[in-house]
Amino acid sequence: MARPPGARVTLFVYSRPPARKRECARTGTQLYRPTYNPMPNVTRQQKSCSCPKSGFDLKKFVKKDKYSEIVKRRAEEYEKDHLRKRTILDELLLAPPNSPLQYPIQGFIVSPLKKGIIPGLSVHTLQTQNDQVTLSVSSGVLAVESLQEKGKVKGQGEKVLSISASSLQSLNDLLGRVSYRSTVYSIKSGDLVHFTFGRHKAIFPVAIRQPKVPVLYDLGEDVNSQVTVTTKTFLRYPEVNYLIKSIRKFYKDIKIIIADDSIEPEKVKGTNIEQYFMPPAQGWFAGRNLAVSQVTTKYFLWTDDDFEFTDKTKIEKFVEIMESMPELDVVAGSVGKLANSFTLIYEEGDEEGGCLTRVKGNYQPIPGIPNCFFTSGVINFFLARTDAVRKVGFDPLLKRVGHSEFFMDGLGELLVAICPEVGLNHQRRRANAAYRKFRKPPKSDTDNKLYLHFFKNRLKCMKW
């Protein structure tokens, strides 16, 4: 296949520094960067993204006298974040054409500082004499297990292993016993094995991963042991009490958790209710974090304090959907006639930052689940996997301006869906002068949020 116009082909090989150098990843302002040489790779060039007229140019929300300093700090943080999350296994490998070499292209996993036999390693050719292969690695050592004829192998227990044999059968017998042992402790990284036979060369990956201990939730016998209802309240006790009354109409025993940052807190009465008092006016996201931190069930149902359960509020339906599709993390419903959802389009951009666009709508229907759709973000009525949401969290810097921001932070981490047939209602509005004072945030809150996106999310542009 012809190479696309303008594409560059670069050769890389991974060279890992000694442990002492890795511990000092910074020297002054210089960050250690892994080098790659020679691994076939088609480089992905950064492309600048443009900010449309209707979008927010986030540079405008950075203090002009601090701009250069802030951009420098952001670049350093981005580089460290990139190094932390990126591994050698992210590099693009190209398989050689018409190769007689057989090797694992994925799925070979070794625990840190442990060894494993490389599966499927062999040569398929008509050549019958002077058969010799060379294998080399960077972050481990190679060996032939149960080796009897040591003269056929050079580099036993080293980074470069050479194997020679008088016949192809003998060579493949030795290759079938080649092991890789990790020598660098890392819980999630990898290595590349360079496999050479005459003029034929190939590279394949080794995933180095610390096995994870499962964290399982006992679903029990009914929805009460599966789901906790969570909400956040601030100066709206009539609303939250009405919400509880509506919940108890349909779910008399389900646990309810309330995060409360009211200025003059009041005790909410009722059974199986946990009310956690916060310092006054800590904000919506801080309250969400607190509420979710106390959940002990596999799922939690998020609802605003001015919502009302109806006969459409079928929590069991949400659980059924989540259990039938374990990769789902969030499934939302409708609030009244509203079933708002949106998709997020993210471009990484260049050194100036990326661009993010929010578009109303969904990606596509979910196969096998009628009237449900994949999306990026949803309304404030959703069921979520407790452990998945805890990994993303809610940024407590966002006090009164924020909802989409949770789904922005979870983009690529959370698989989100909306199923509008499950729903509830908004309560009728009540006169609440104390609450209304805080209802509309000042412009400074929005400005601070946009600056946060500039630095934390490394964005130069957002379009809502």
- Look at strands 299-302 and 382-385 and give their pairing: antiparallel
416 and 274 in one domain?
A: yes
- Give the tens place of pLDDT for each residue, 313-331: 999 999 999 999 999 999 9
Give the per-residue pLDDT at 27: 34
340 and 258 in one domain?
A: yes
231 and 190 in one domain?
A: no
Least confident of 64-68, 140-144, 436-440: 436-440
- Give the tens place of pLDDT for each residue, 333-388: 999 999 999 999 999 999 999 999 999 999 999 999 999 999 999 999 999 999 99
3-state SS, one letter per residue, for 286-332: HHHHHHHHCCCCCEEEECCCCEECCCCCCHHHHHHHHHHCCCCCEEE
437 and 350 in one domain?
A: yes
170 and 250 in one domain?
A: no
| Helix/strand/coil for 426 | strand
- Of 209, 238, 261, which one is at a domain's C-terminal end? 209
Give the per-residue pLDDT at 26: 37
Q: Is residue 315 part of a domain?
A: yes
Least confident of 39-43, 157-161, 277-281, 422-426: 39-43
Q: Which range in 32-41, 53-62, 79-88, 264-273 is most confidently predicted, on average pLDDT? A: 264-273
Q: Is residue 385 part of a domain?
A: yes
Is 80 exceeded by the pLDDT of residue 32?
Answer: no
The residue among 444 and 14 whose pLDDT is bigger is 444
Q: Please report where in the chains the tokens 């398989």 appear, as a residue.
A: 95
Question: How many residues does this entry show for the chain?
Answer: 464
174 and 264 in one domain?
A: no
Q: Distance between CA 114 and CA 239 in Å, rounded?
A: 57
Q: How many CB atoms lie within 10 A of CB 441?
A: 14
269 and 413 in one domain?
A: yes
Q: Is residue 291 part of a domain?
A: yes
Beta strands in 288-441 (DSSP E): 299-302, 307-308, 330-335, 341-350, 353-360, 364-365, 373-375, 377-378, 382-385, 416-426
Residue numbers of the domain that contains 109: 101-209
266 and 131 in one domain?
A: no
Q: Distance between CA 445 and CA 164 in Å, rounded?
A: 70
Give residue 129's pLDDT band: very low, low, confident or very high (50, 70, 90): low
Q: Distance between CA 204 and CA 371 in Å, rounded?
A: 42
Q: Which two tokens stand for residue 249?
A: 């109409």
Is 60 exceeded by the pLDDT of residue 15?
Answer: no
406 and 309 in one domain?
A: yes
How many domains is the chain built from?
2
CATH number, position 376:
3.90.550.10
| Helix/strand/coil for 71 | helix
Check if the beta carbon of residue 133 is closer than 8 Å to that of residue 195: yes
Q: Is residue 242 part of a domain?
A: yes
Give the per-residue pLDDT at 241: 97
What average pLDDT does the segment 80-108 reach?
88
| Helix/strand/coil for 102 | strand
180 and 302 in one domain?
A: no
- Give the tens place of pLDDT for each residue, 229-264: 999 999 999 999 999 999 999 999 999 999 999 999
CATH number, position 122:
2.60.40
227 and 205 in one domain?
A: no
Q: Is residue 3 part of a domain?
A: no
Nearest to 386 by CA among 333, 304, 330, 341: 330
Report the DSSP beta bridge partners of residue 359. Answer: 343
Q: Is residue 404 part of a domain?
A: yes
Q: Distance between CA 403 and CA 379 in Å, rounded?
A: 9
* First-last CA distance in the chain: 40
The model's pTM: 0.84
The residue among 28 and 339 whose pLDDT is bigger is 339
Give residue 28's pLDDT band: very low, low, confident or very high (50, 70, 90): very low
Q: Is residue 83 part of a domain?
A: no
293 and 187 in one domain?
A: no
